[in-house]
Amino acid sequence: MQSLDFVIPQEKKIKYLNTLLNVGFDTVELGSIVSPKLIPQMADTLELLPKLDYSSTRSNRMMLVVNKKGAEIASGIEQITHISYPFSVSPTFLKLNLNTTIEKSMETVADILEICYRSNKQPVIYISMAFGNPYGDEWNMELMKEWVGKLKDAGVRILPLSNVAIEIDKDLIASMFSTMIPAFPEVEFGMHLHTTNKDWYANVEAAYQHGVRRLDGVINGYGGCPMSGEEMLGNLNTENIVTFMEQNNLPAQLDKAAFSRAMMLASFTFSNPIT
């Protein structure tokens, strides 16, 4: 929703999110606490949360925050189970996306972990630009291992890795997870892939074969990061993840009827009402 050039009416959001909550996904991200001036598409997140129907969902409910204040707010919302934060090893990305530094971002991670601990929420700390970056910042596998180690030592246990603004291939995905998962067995690694979905099967297969069991997706592949300063890619298409699971006889445990409704609603929800 944040990547669109228009604001989705709240009634559309509520209908769509209610449908997602009934599909049976492990986790549904319900919104984010970000600057309404910079990202007006998400300005009504806190207002719509009490209007959602949680009565029959088995999904975890996640909220993205960008600072300690946002984490404090999210921690007080009963319906939220997970609080996520976009850390990065790229100083340029952090400056563009959060107007912060790596050092201050690590302080925010520590704050979020403490807030989650005392409010019984689960922290999910993303590493953005985990597979390289277009800014010329230092990046290599040893640097990634260093920062993953620091995050693990701080207490992070769920750590999705994201490419954000550069397309990546199966070889890099395989190299990353074959390095990280054996080195940090106590961490649940995930993949948050920004992509055109051209080579989606090979990329998902590479992640799965090397131990990834947490995959983020967006129905129809909508989305992107509007603060990266680079041309945006979409997101990994949820339908493709489901197709991969079906073709490999992996139990999805999804309500197929609800999933079909969600796919139909996506086109309606993400269409510009002006056009």
pLDDT digits (tens, 9 = 90+) for 88-134: 999 999 999 899 999 999 999 999 999 999 999 999 999 999 999 88
Average pLDDT, the chain: 93
Return the amino acid letter for 113.
Answer: L
Overall average pLDDT of the 127-156 stretch:
96
Grade residue 1 by pLDDT with cuts at 50, 70 and 90.
Answer: confident
Grade residue 226 by pLDDT with cuts at 50, 70 and 90.
Answer: low
Burial of 255 from C-beta contacts in 10 A (0-12 / 13-18 / 19+): middle
pLDDT(275) > 70: no
**Residue tagged 């996904």 (tokens):** 25
How many structural domains compose the chain?
Answer: 1
pLDDT digits (tens, 9 = 90+) for 13-67: 999 999 999 999 999 999 999 988 888 889 999 999 999 999 999 999 999 999 9
pLDDT(232) > 70: no
- Domain-embedded: residue 190: yes
CATH of the domain at 247: 3.20.20.70
**pTM for the predicted model, two decimal places:** 0.94
Per-residue model confidence (pLDDT) at position 166: 85
- Domain-embedded: residue 176: yes
pLDDT(193) > 70: yes
* Structural contact between residues 249 and 243, judged by C-beta atoms closer than 8 angstroms: no
- Domain-embedded: residue 5: no
- Domain-embedded: residue 80: yes
pLDDT digits (tens, 9 = 90+) for 248-268: 999 888 999 999 999 999 988
Whose CA is closest to 226, among 24, 15, 42? Answer: 42
Return the amino acid letter for 246.
Answer: E
- Calpha distance 91→26 (Å, rounded): 31
In terms of residue numbers, what domain contains 160? 10-269
- Domain-embedded: residue 274: no
Burial of 212 from C-beta contacts in 10 A (0-12 / 13-18 / 19+): buried
pLDDT(202) > 90: yes
The pLDDT > 90 percentage for the chain reads 79
Buried b (16+ CB within 10 A) or exposed e, 220-254: bbbbbbebbebeebbbbbbbbbbebbeeeeeeeeb
Per-residue model confidence (pLDDT) at position 241: 97
- Domain-embedded: residue 139: yes
- Domain-embedded: residue 165: yes
Overall average pLDDT of the 201-215 stretch:
98
- Calpha distance 119→168 (Å, rounded): 37
